[in-house]
Amino acid sequence: MVDSLGFHLWCPRCGIKLKEGEYRPWCPRCRGPLEAMGLPRLPPVLGEGSTPLVEAGEGVYAKLEYLNPSGSFKDRGVGYSLRMASLLGYDCVVVDSSGNTGLSTALYSARLGLKARVYVPRGASPGKKALIRATGAELVEAGSREEAARLAEAEAEKCFHVAHPTNPLFIEGVKSLGRELAGEAARGADVLAPVSSGTLLLGIYRGLEEERGGFRLVAVQSPAAYSLKGLVQELGWVGGVEGRLLDALLLTRPPRLGEMARAVRESGGGVVVVGDGAIPGAVREAVQRGFLVEPSSAAVFAAHEVLKEKKWLSGRSLLVLTGSGLKYASLLEKLAAEAA
């Protein structure tokens, strides 16, 4: 428990400030993303965070975020958000997700005694859907990612809506990753991370800035959700224009897009677009280096190879491996065989 929950949420877009301790998933006036003041530091719920940073080649290091309890970095943001939800008196949680946030929400809700309803697009990973059901959460399949979001939004008044693209509590949890990287030789390094909603990118950026700075951010995006197009320097494109295999990178209009672009620009970084054609080789490379990660995470290996060929890299690279490949066992086998 914490002594006080005297935080305030406020909207940088329209200036509204909510009452002390009041939670909303987005601004009640303009629906923009909220920011927070006075949030407490909270202990982990299931030991999330403090993931290994291991050597993955000469001058290359991998941050193993897929070793978090539910198999993805989302545990950092979900763990913090749901502990706050519990402290605020909520007894139910709702979330829309392509898979990883949904599984994380289901697992942490089970641990904290919260009733969870998870809306996912019908095409979400079968492995992720099976694991969500295994936690006891209610899984509802929607026709699309957009429909899943609408269904979850309809319940936002009665249950804690995780709403990670706009929820400042979620980013507060992910900031712990940036703080860890700051203590693990991020200064002077190029940090490559998969980017869709931007919560990972901004959590890393804010955490690193809070501690020491001195890094370049490289956003790795899917052709199907290339939201940073024209907003930051395009450093390379590989693998064609299809992005079906990158099913964790689906958000085409992230609410914090402006801030995402500023973070990349201010760090001196850019974006690399990775399509399906590069994924089999990236998966095979990841596995051969000892990392069982999902295709959307493996994309950072393809991006790193592009930057290496262009001689853009500064000398030390940190690859953020976000999601576990154990949720994609059959697909990983197929992709690795294609690249053999």
Q: What DSSP string describes 229-281?
A: TTTS-EEEEES-S--TT-TT---SS-TTHHHHHHHHHHHT-EEEEE-GGGHHH
Highest mean pLDDT among 69-83, 122-136, 210-224, 239-253: 69-83
Using alpha carbons, list the distances in angstroms from residue 13 to 32, 265, 335, 339. Answer: 7, 20, 43, 47
Q: Please say whether the beta carbons of 274 and 162 come within 8 A.
A: no
Q: Please say whether the beta carbons of 252 and 222 come within 8 A.
A: no
DSSP 293: B
Write out the H or E segment, with its range, that includes residue 309: helix 295-309
**Confidence check: pLDDT of 2 > 50:** no
* Pick from 107, 41, 40: nearest CA to 75: 107
pTM for the full model? 0.94
Q: Please say whether the beta carbons of 274 and 282 come within 8 A.
A: yes
Q: What is the per-residue pLDDT across 143-156, written as a single tens digit (0 to 9) for each?
A: 988 899 999 999 99
Using alpha carbons, list the distances in angstroms from residue 266 to 80, 98, 116, 120. Answer: 27, 30, 38, 34
pLDDT score of 4: 55
Portion of the chain with pLDDT greater than 70, in percent: 98
Q: What is the per-residue pLDDT across 62-89, written as a single tens digit (0 to 9) for each?
A: 999 999 999 999 999 999 999 999 999 9
26, two tokens? 């987005």
Question: Which residues on neighbouring strands pair with residue 161, listed in sequence order?
Answer: 94
* Pick from 304, 339, 333: nearest CA to 56: 304
Using alpha carbons, list the distances in angstroms from residue 199 to 155, 188, 249. Answer: 22, 22, 12
Q: What is the per-residue pLDDT across 121-168, written as a single tens digit (0 to 9) for each?
A: 998 888 889 999 999 999 999 998 889 999 999 999 899 999 999 999
- The rounded distance, in Å, linking the Cα atoms of 302 and 112 is 38
Using alpha carbons, list the distances in angstroms from residue 210 to 137, 169, 259. Answer: 36, 16, 16
Stretch 3-11: mean pLDDT: 81
